[in-house]
Homo-oligomer: A and B are copies of this chain.
Amino acid sequence: MLDALEVSNGIVAEFRRGTFVLAVLSRLESPQYGYSLLQILEDKEFPIDANTLYPLLRRLDKQGLLTSEWNTDEARPRKYYVLSPLGREVYENLKKEWAALAAQIQKILEV
């Protein structure tokens, strides 16, 4: 049998899952590669598992929100991602929508 903490953690994971895209987009106004993003987000106290981030980057690239480019000049080859024009537009939308959602939830929890 699961206790309250375990159950809560599972549901909190669902919260966070929904916000991964927003967090990632927020860090890609300047180019980053996967590993640097992992560290940046960890520093920002928003850690994402590598097994979640890498597939997410590929997906956002495929959806056209990011553009990607291999950099082979440096010692180690790195795949850099950055917001595409579409991605930038989507990101601006999402910021507004997030604020709206947060306000709605706040309202529901207050009563």
Contacts and interface: CB of A to CB of B under 8 A. Distances in A.
Find the residue from A15, A19, A104 having the highest chain B CB count within 10 A: A15
A75 interface: no
A90 B7 contact: yes
Interface of A: 1-2, 4-5, 7-8, 11-12, 14-19, 21-23, 26-27, 44-46, 63-65, 86, 89-90, 93-95, 97-98, 101-102, 104-105, 107-109, 111
29 contacts: A4-B89, A5-B93, A7-B63, A7-B64, A8-B90, A8-B93, A8-B97, A11-B21, A11-B90, A11-B94, A14-B17, A15-B18, A15-B19, A15-B22, A15-B98, A16-B18, A18-B19, A19-B101, A19-B105, A22-B105, A22-B108, A23-B105, A26-B109, A26-B111, A44-B104, A44-B108, A45-B104, A98-B109, A102-B102
